[in-house]
Structure 1
């Protein structure tokens, strides 16, 4: 039977790399950051790292293991900042206010 953990680790790593590439591509093209892609990269990178440690490919009791928890906090902060700063949230909020009157 195939161990599906390696498949999930590969998929999360791939999504994280694509997110980093999207941030880099956007910055090169227009010299502005897209924090949504960065949030996706951080979330999936942290999740992939957690899967690697949970399956025993890296030791959990190390400096790397201590770095996983801050990744989750950074991911939440970046996601919130990107949502607050995005035009989509402003448009949604204006639409909700206009629709409730």
Structure 2
């Protein structure tokens, strides 16, 4: 427990732990994507990873039994996925073409 509050230290430091974990995982995925795109086409690599992610998301969504989103939500989700897919493919291409530290 921290001296300034009555809350134990675990709930207080949980957001920081999640943030640090996210930073390391995001950096590791960027490094792996950049390294993988040196050996394969960046757009093929990104398409493959997005297909795997879509399969995982659909499996999770069907097991949760939630309500189906409306058309506007589906449109924005697909648009965000397509734009994000192209942007990450371009980023992986930049990582593969030069120095990773400079492109990152």
Q: Relative contact order, CA 8 A, sep 6+: which one is greater?
A: 2
Query: Taking structure 1 as the reference length, what is the TM-score of the superposition?
Result: 0.33
Query: Taking structure 2 as the reference length, what is the TM-score of the superposition?
Result: 0.33
Query: Which has more radius of gyration?
Result: 2
